[in-house]
Structure 1
Amino acid sequence: MAKNKNRGYGFGTTPVFLASISTILGAILFLRFGYAVSNAGLIGTILLVLIAHLITIPSALAISEIATNMRVEGGGEYYIISRSFGKIIGGSIGISLYFARAISVAFYMVAFADAFRPINQYLMTKSGIWIDLRIISLLFFGLITWIQLWKGANMGVNILWGVFLILIASIILFLFGKALPGTVPVPLTFKIKGADPMFKVFAIIFPAFTGMAAGVGLSGDLKKPERSIPIGILSATITGMFIYILVAIKLHSSAPMSLLASDPLVMSKIALWGPIIPLGLAAATISSAISSSIVAPRILQALGNDNVLPGKKINRFFAKGKGKVNEPVNATAFTVLLVILFILPGSLDFIAQLITMFFIITYGILCWISFLEHMAANPSFRPVFHTKWYISLIGGIMSIIVIFQIQPIYATLAILLMFIIYRLILYSHKDENELSTLSQGLIFQITRWLKIISQRNSKKLKPYGWRPSVIAVSKDTFERISIVDLLRWISYRHGFGTLVHFIQGMLNKETAEKAVEIKGELVKLVEKGGAGIYVDTIVSPSKKSAVAQIVQLSGVSGLDNNTLLLEFPKEDPSKIDDVIDAAKFALSVRFNILILRSSSRHFGYKSRMDIWITDKKYRNSNLLILLAYIIKGHPDWREAQINIFVAFPESEIDENVTNLKKIIESGRLPISFKNIRPVSFNPQKQTIESVVEEYSETSDLVIIGFNSANLDNMKGEMVKYNKLNDLLFVSANENILII
């Protein structure tokens, strides 16, 4: 075959079909399908075949879809997964897939030796000689190894032609065989006495259907993988399904149930020419071994090329190839040692169940990738071949169900091993730990729909369902972080916070680049502090114009913004003018206004919070109490005591305290009545400022309401309270209820 410089051997569609169908029609078909029919009945067996294909067909469709959307290189399933989920996740799955493929070679070789059991029995009868079947496995595996190391994949594919013809001949001769003496018609649901449970039967026969993706492993050697992969694996999967159903029907009608259960080679007694069945078994297992032995080293080579394995030397070693087609010599040599290690014990059951777990997990991952690609609606995802999202979803869900139905312990071990491998790769590739395009697209779609749904339902929101959606605007974010801390406390669980860093100036290339740079620093700042808030920047000539733009923007969370948070330092009252001018724009859109007067004490020990209620109309009371409750919910303030001071002239104090207790009780807020502190004062002799200072001088945060209608007069009020530290002025411009 002509060699393509960029596409290895430049295979067409036929090798993909041959590799897949030769692996699907494997040892289970010839050795254990009679057992399935006798233990599950004909209807039960067909049902199990269909259940299995609820995984394999969606997987075949998913592989086809993803493969026709990208330029598929060497590594097959590994390439598809890693280029969709990233090399960290893809690498962990690729390593486990490599071991599954490599160990499956041992499985096929041990099963291959069973084809020589009749010869062994003949030799034992005639001469008393019994050949250890493991020797046969090792000898034929040596032959396969020689083919791979010295002749390459091209020779392996040529052999696939021969074994495929034997497979077809054995199946045809079996299907045209005659019923055995003593065969009587039985109901379609008939089972032998003491039959095994359905899912135990399923666990034994499912490895028969795991060969679907064998042809994908040739991706690096295909001339047109975007065409060959869909046609090859889909045709092999559907062909295999019909062959298994036909074989089940023939077994049910051609042999007694007791013989199906006891004789693994019962097919040889039904076939027109009996010896063709052991030959077919040998052909099936040797072809499956060839397919996996071609694929496994290429997966390992692809892992080395992507530098996924630990250590540069190890990656270079396995990435090394031979000749113009880059034959994976080192990867093949390592695979040989691994296969021999698993051939020597000769235990089929353990190997079969273990590799089945890895294969089903791989199929499930592929289905989930296809499903997520549909959900993400990435415009770059434009496959030539299309499937439906719900088909991939069915395959993904069925994969999860089936692995735990087959063997919960092996399923748990397989998933745990994959997680450990993932963590090891992540540890050695810390710089590559980023969201892939797929994840970003999915998050985008979820956010988009949530925002749309939230906006459509916004008119239905009631005053008692209020939650804070706060925009904090500051020019001095990095110099004074009090505003950042207050924002993260308010938005911890019950609300959403957006921090906007104001950059003064005109928007141009220089300021735009500065904004991008500062935004990156903001992300690091809030990430380091564990703050769950959104950050952004804005370039504007003045703070006033910046706020005018910001309050018109829709909320990032899908919830409309409803509160503006501004800040100025206690030590520099000259900044109050900018704050008040900016706050006026919040009134235009009926925003609640929070103005923090920060101090060098930086909220002290966060052990005491004082609320002062002085307005007879209780215009701000609900918001004051809710904010205190929300802030206390943050771990930083969890041990804090909330004091509610009700300050009125003596003649009005009892009535106002009673009203306040009703608000707290109806709202089921975790505030003890003993913390409600009535404070009566004589307005003729005392100012409210002096009263607040007297009681709250040592408080870590004092919250006071103000009337936004008097915003122009607030500058004089904000410079008062000299004895207090961090002080939050609050004006509620929404109807907020506590019930």
Structure 2
Amino acid sequence: MSGDLKDPRKSIPIGTMSAIGLTMVIYLLLAIWLSRVATVDELLNIDPGNIVMADKAAWSWAVVAGLLGATFSSALASMVAAPRVMQALGQHQILPSSDFVAEESVTGEPRHALLVTSVIVLATLLFAFFGGGLNAIAPLITMFFLLTYGTLNAVVLIEQTLGMVSFRPTLPIPRWVPLVGLLSCLFVMTLVNPVFSLIAIIFTLAIYAYLLRKKLRAPWGDVRSGLFMSLAEWAGERVSRLPGAPERTWSPSVLAPVMNAETMNGSYRFLRSIVSPQGSVRALGLYQTGHRESVEKLDLITQAFIADGVYARTTLLKVSDFESGVSTAIEVLASVFFRPNILFLPLFANEQQVDLENLLNEIAPFKIGVALLARHPVIDLGREQLINVWVREQGPDWKLGMRLSNLDLSVLLAYQLARNWRGRINLCMSVTDLETAIKARAYLNELIDLARLPAKTQVHVIEAPFYEALRQMPGADINFFGLPNDFDPVFLNEVIEIVGASCLFVRDSGDESALA
């Protein structure tokens, strides 16, 4: 067996190529000999009881003996190799009941794997016996051989195309060789039996899907990561040459800086709701000298995001203070291709808002949206059902455009929440008179239509000053407000106190559009 060779890396290629070369010479000589001793009609006559080569040979018994010997040799090789292959699959936890088939006897023989393969062979022989002979299953077995050869050619072709440094074959071949091999295997499969070809491909894809669900980690890695990385690099290069259109491709990509993992854990459900299913979260763990342990558990939280189907990553950064750390991180990430487009910060205490004012001024040039979450200390996010989005008066023209007045990000995040909460959005506006109220209702209804908000979205226009309208508006689980360019902590505190529920203060980045 190959695993028992002294130097498999050297012996297997030499033995394989030697065997292929020798059998090719034998087959060519036999073809030439048969073309001289037999007619075309005799060669085309497929009769199991009449072997042309035996009839034309000087010793017909030698041909029959050779056929029996070749058959016995193949059966013996399969009997020895198949259990060891199954044992190897079991050792890597690929098969069901892998521990059972991976066991060895005292002498090192894979007895359990031999037992399982024997049952498979017996079932196949019984099927052939009652289903028309071995010829009934021969095409299917041929398909799996061809699929194996085709897959090997496909892997070599992909590796060569990617040009990764790790792919350094000791026997380099031109790229067209695996391409011809792959196409030839697919062509022969279709030629032999199209139905069995389809069955074999479906069965192989089912095995691949099964292995993906097992989430196996191969110690030697695989080609998929390199393939996707190369595709991403290729796509990134092409996109960089095209005119930017961030509105059409926008998806929430949140940067969540924290100085302890507990803060991130407290925001987990809300973050998952505003980014799922296509968004992403980057946890930025900021720590000062001697306090790295406070953010080390962020990896566990990002793994939870991934388990919930949300792309998430953790970055740890040593900083002198929170404000400078966030500012530096945003400045660095502004140049990457998949950069975050929302800075998420939870509001905890009034004394932090002085730092927030300086921070928001520093990051303003980098075109990143801002979402400040003030959680209610008792009801938190309530039943996670009702979302109030407060819209400022849009007079005097009351016209909708691709760029709304600091409203695009609020509408998009409210839609994300409503979709993941299966909740309802209320578009709310405070106006001073009846004439303005009529224009406001028309504006908000048009916004629902053009922004393609859910059908159950409601409009609430209240004829009262803003703070009074906050008191009159029925309660919601969370309220969205636009964050003014001139940061006003007094405004935030007054709104939070009057509303009596969780609030999200949002500032657009300028790259999103609710109407796109």
TM-score, length of structure 1 as denominator length: 0.57
The alpha carbon displacement at 1:505 in A equals: 0.4
Q: 2:505 aligns with which of 701, 720, 729?
A: 729
Alignment deviations for residues 460-511 of structure 1 (CA, whole Å, 9 cap, x no partner): 32655544333222335534646333333332245x33232433303xxx65
The alpha carbon displacement at 1:676 in A equals: 2.4
Tell me, yes or no, if structure 1 residue 386 matches structure 2 residue 182. no
Q: 2:454 aligns with which of 657, 670, 693?
A: 670
Q: 2:463 aligns with which of 672, 680, 688?
A: 680
Alignment deviations for residues 659-704 of structure 1 (CA, whole Å, 9 cap, x no partner): 44444434444356x72222232xxxx4x123123214x2112111
The alpha carbon displacement at 1:413 in A equals: 7.3
The alpha carbon displacement at 1:269 in A equals: 3.1
Q: 1:480 to 1:330 in 2, by over 3 A?
A: closer
The alpha carbon displacement at 1:303 in A equals: 5.5
Alignment deviations for residues 353-378 of structure 1 (CA, whole Å, 9 cap, x no partner): 45434433433443444345446655
State the SS of the aligned residue for 2:45.
helix
Give the match for residue 587 of structure 1.
Answer: 364
State the SS of the aligned residue for 1:550.
helix
Rg (Cα) greater in structure: 1
The alpha carbon displacement at 1:547 in A equals: 1.0
Instruction: State how 1:105-504 maps to structure 2 within 5 Å.
Output: 218-237=1-20, 240=23, 244=27, 254-257=38-41, 260-263=44-47, 264-271=50-57, 274-296=60-82, 298-299=84-85, 302=88, 310=97, 315-318=102-105, 320-321=107-108, 328=109, 330=111, 341=122, 347-350=133-136, 352-371=138-157, 373-374=159-160, 379-387=165-173, 391-392=177-178, 395=181, 399=185, 406=193, 408=195, 412=199, 416=203, 437-438=221-222, 439-457=224-242, 459-461=243-245, 463=247, 466-475=250-259, 477-479=261-263, 481=265, 483-493=267-277, 496-504=279-287
TM-score, length of structure 2 as denominator length: 0.78
The alpha carbon displacement at 1:278 in A equals: 2.4
- Structure 2 CA distance for aligned equivalents of residues 468 and 336 of structure 1: 51
Q: 1:596 to 1:395 in 2, by over 3 A?
A: farther
- Structure 2 CA distance for aligned equivalents of residues 395 and 462 of structure 1: 43
Q: 1:385 to 1:338 in 2, by over 3 A?
A: same
Tell me, yes or no, if structure 1 residue 654 matches structure 2 residue 417. no
The alpha carbon displacement at 1:551 in A equals: 0.9
State the SS of the aligned residue for 2:495.
coil
The alpha carbon displacement at 1:437 in A equals: 1.8
* RMSD, aligned CA: 4.2
- Structure 2 CA distance for aligned equivalents of residues 433 and 585 of structure 1: 43
Q: 1:734 to 1:482 in 2, by over 3 A?
A: farther
- Structure 2 CA distance for aligned equivalents of residues 333 and 528 of structure 1: 38
Unaligned runs of 5+ in 2: 396-403
Q: 1:608 aligns with which of 364, 381, 386?
A: 386
State the SS of the aligned residue for 1:233.
helix
Q: Does the aligned pair in 2 maintain the 1:471–1:565 contact within 8 Å?
A: yes
State the SS of the aligned residue for 1:478.
helix
Give the match for residue 552 of structure 1.
Answer: 331
Tell me, yes or no, if structure 1 residue 525 matches structure 2 residue 304. yes
- Structure 1 CA distance for aligned equivalents of residues 238 and 266 of structure 2: 34
- Structure 1 CA distance for aligned equivalents of residues 183 and 262 of structure 2: 48
- Structure 2 CA distance for aligned equivalents of residues 530 and 488 of structure 1: 9
Q: Does the aligned pair in 2 maintain the 1:609–1:643 contact within 8 Å?
A: yes
Number of aligned residues: 493
Alignment-mate amino acid for residue 342 of structure 2: T
Alignment deviations for residues 518-552 of structure 1 (CA, whole Å, 9 cap, x no partner): 23222333245553433333332222012112212
Q: 1:460 to 1:403 in 2, by over 3 A?
A: same
- Structure 1 CA distance for aligned equivalents of residues 87 and 458 of structure 2: 70
State the SS of the aligned residue for 1:533.
strand
Q: Does the aligned pair in 2 maintain the 1:364–1:395 contact within 8 Å?
A: yes
The alpha carbon displacement at 1:725 in A equals: 1.0
- Structure 1 CA distance for aligned equivalents of residues 172 and 106 of structure 2: 33
Alignment deviations for residues 417-437 of structure 1 (CA, whole Å, 9 cap, x no partner): 99679969988xx9x657862
Alignment deviations for residues 183-229 of structure 1 (CA, whole Å, 9 cap, x no partner): xxxxxxxxxxxxxxxxxxxxxxxxxxxxxxxxxxx322434332332
- Structure 1 CA distance for aligned equivalents of residues 65 and 384 of structure 2: 81
Unaligned runs of 5+ in 1: 1-217, 322-327
- Structure 2 CA distance for aligned equivalents of residues 306 and 462 of structure 1: 44
Q: Does the aligned pair in 1 maintain the 2:253–2:342 contact within 8 Å?
A: yes
Give the percent of matched residue pairs that are identical in Structure 1 and Structure 2: 23
Q: Does the aligned pair in 1 maintain the 2:428–2:459 contact within 8 Å?
A: yes
The alpha carbon displacement at 1:452 in A equals: 4.0
The alpha carbon displacement at 1:644 in A equals: 1.0
Greater RCO, CA 8 A, separation 6+: 1
Larger helix percent = 1
Q: Does the aligned pair in 2 maintain the 1:647–1:680 contact within 8 Å?
A: yes
- Structure 2 CA distance for aligned equivalents of residues 384 and 735 of structure 1: 50
Alignment-mate amino acid for residue 417 of structure 2: I
Alignment-mate amino acid for residue 365 of structure 2: S
Q: 1:319 to 1:397 in 2, by over 3 A?
A: farther
Using the TM superposition, name which of 394-403 and 526-535 deviates more. Answer: 394-403
Q: 1:287 to 1:319 in 2, by over 3 A?
A: same
State the SS of the aligned residue for 1:596.
strand
Give the match for residue 288 of structure 2.
Answer: 505
Q: 1:319 to 1:732 in 2, by over 3 A?
A: farther
State the SS of the aligned residue for 1:633.
helix
Q: 1:378 to 1:706 in 2, by over 3 A?
A: same
